[in-house]
Amino acid sequence: MGKNKKSYAKLLPTFTIIFSLTFASLSAIILSVELDSIADEQENYLGQALSSQLAKVSRNSIINQDKLSLQIEVDDMLTIEGIQYVAVHDASRRLLVKATKSANRTSLASNATHTYTSAITIENATAGYALVRFDQEFFAAYFQTLRFAIAFLFASIFFILIYLSAKIGKILSFRLNHLIQQLPGDNKETMDELSALEHRLKPLIATRKENQQPYAEQKVEDYALLAIDCKNLTILKTRVNPEHLESVMSQFDVLVNDAAEIYGATRLSAGQRSIYLQFKGKSEYDDHPLRALYCATAIHDLSKKLLDTQGIKLELASVISNDTQKYSRSQILNESHCEAHLNSLQLMLEQAVDGEILLDAPTKSHGSLQDISLYPPSEKSILFRVEELNEDSKELISQQIAILGRDM
């Protein structure tokens, strides 16, 4: 089987990458906004605190008009990490002293919004102003390490997720492909493994119905009976080695039981050379007659493989009869009705020849068989022979036959 373009070995890592990148982008935006907000809060707090401190320590120097002491205070303030410019102005905003660290003009201009001012008050009068300006890159650099740590953590998680998704995708793809390869059929390249598995399982579940058991309050049950007659069984008993015949018929039993399981049938007690399968329906409009026809077609087709593998031909003829049974409180009456129906099937089997599948008139008129080509074997016959199935039925049965015959 070719590789699927939509294999989970590719889909899971791709989805993980898309999800991780989307999540990372949104997280980076949110984190950047939050860190910038925290940095601004810390800068505002520290700027106001330092400018207030400078205003207090500068009060005596302003009173004494001691510029030397004032310059010393400003120089001391400049030694604090992150401060780029410190100045003291008088009450009319004229510069008295200043101290600054080397920086280009662009940096100084851009730092204008990072300047914090506190008034120097003496007896409730403003005697000057203390200015503190921070380096623009100081607080950004302070959080840069945190940004790198978060980015490294995310990158590690990202690669771990990619590795795990790729590994899980390969395991899932391998296990699904292993199941798919055991089922017959072809897949489209555009299918993923689950779709391909569903496509190949469709023949198994298309005609499978839950057997509806009659409850005490149920009065009527709709069902179809399939009788399969092995017409040359008596001859085979006399002409074929008993052990070899037993082996062949054992394989045939397995085939019948597997078909009954796929098509939702119950195997009843057999006659001398006949097999009876019952297909129950939930109502008279259910597809139980069609399931019986599919089952008969599959068994007829696969019995021919026994000739190829075992050298024995089973001459099979089948009849299908649809019926509705009204349940009685008496078990013997219920069993008598079923026995009468089986006897009628046996009479119909006597009119069927090798390879034929016959239907009685009530079954032929069932809605689920409207697209099936049916013809009477003869002008006087009240039975109808199945001539041909429609294209959808042929395709479905061919897949089901491939499943049933995989071990033959």
Q: Among candidates 323, 337, 325, 318, which has minimal Cα distance to 383?
A: 318
pLDDT digits (tens, 9 = 90+) for 155-192: 888 889 888 888 888 888 788 777 777 666 666 656 67
214 shares a domain with 125: no
220 shares a domain with 76: no
pLDDT over 90 for what percent of the chain? Answer: 12
Q: What is the mean pLDDT of the chain?
A: 82
Rounded to an integer, what distance in angstroms lies between the CA atom of residue 116 and that of residue 132? 5
pLDDT of residue 186: 64
pLDDT of residue 210: 44
**Number of domains into which the chain is organized:** 2
215 shares a domain with 129: no
Report the b/e string of 269-297 with b at 16+ CB within 10 A: eeeeebbbbbbbbeeeebbbbbbbbbbbb
Question: Residue 133 is part of a domain; what is its CATH number?
Answer: 3.30.450.20
Query: Comparing 9-18, 132-141, 229-238, which segment has the lowest mean pLDDT?
Result: 132-141
CA distances to 77, 78, 124, 126, 302 from 62, rounded to whole Å, are: 16, 19, 14, 11, 113
- Strand order of the β-sheet with 220-230 is 265-267, 274-281, 220-230, 316-326, 357-359, 384-388, 373-375
Q: What is the mean pLDDT of residues 129-153?
A: 82
pLDDT digits (tens, 9 = 90+) for 294-311: 999 999 998 888 777 788
- Please, which pLDDT band fits residue 227 given cuts at 50, 70 and 90? very high
Domain-ending residue, one of 138, 172, 194: 138
Rounded to an integer, what distance in angstroms lies between the CA atom of residue 351 and that of residue 215? 36
pLDDT of residue 207: 58
Q: For residue 67, tell me if it sits in a domain.
A: yes
pLDDT at residue 55 greater than cutoff 80: yes
Q: For residue 399, tell me if it sits in a domain.
A: yes
249 shares a domain with 369: yes
| Contact call for residues 46 and 55 (beta carbons, < 8 A) | no
Question: Residue 331 is part of a domain; what is its CATH number?
Answer: 3.30.70.1230
Rounded to an integer, what distance in angstroms lies between the CA atom of residue 20 and that of residue 356? 63
Q: What is the mean pLDDT of residues 71-84?
A: 88
Domain-ending residue, one of 87, 114, 138: 138
Structure tokens at 310: 């075992």
Which comes out higher in pLDDT, residue 117 or 377? 117
The model carries a pTM of 0.55
pLDDT of residue 190: 63
- Please, which pLDDT band fits residue 400 given cuts at 50, 70 and 90? confident
pLDDT over 70 for what percent of the chain? Answer: 87
Q: For residue 56, tell me if it sits in a domain.
A: yes
Q: What is the mean pLDDT of residues 16-27?
A: 87
pLDDT at residue 86 greater than cutoff 50: yes
pLDDT of residue 146: 80
Cα–chain center distance at 241: 53
pLDDT of residue 282: 82
pLDDT digits (tens, 9 = 90+) for 349-367: 888 888 899 998 888 888 8
224 shares a domain with 134: no
- Please, which pLDDT band fits residue 1 given cuts at 50, 70 and 90? very low
240 shares a domain with 122: no
214 shares a domain with 118: no
Q: For residue 146, tell me if it sits in a domain.
A: no
pLDDT at residue 2 greater than cutoff 50: no
Backbone angles phi, psi at 190, to 5 degrees: -80, -5
The domain in which residue 87 lies consists of 8-138
Q: For residue 189, tell me if it sits in a domain.
A: no
213 shares a domain with 92: no
pLDDT of residue 185: 62
pLDDT of residue 357: 92
Q: For residue 155, tell me if it sits in a domain.
A: no
225 shares a domain with 130: no
* Sign of the dihedral defined by the CA atoms of residues 177, 180, 185, 187, in that order: negative
Domain-ending residue, one of 120, 138, 156: 138
366 shares a domain with 238: yes
354 shares a domain with 211: yes
236 shares a domain with 349: yes
pLDDT of residue 292: 92
pLDDT at residue 245 greater than cutoff 70: yes
Q: For residue 97, tell me if it sits in a domain.
A: yes
pLDDT digits (tens, 9 = 90+) for 192-223: 777 777 766 666 665 554 444 444 455 778 88
Scanning the structure block, which residue is given the tokens 């017409």?
231
Q: For residue 154, tell me if it sits in a domain.
A: no
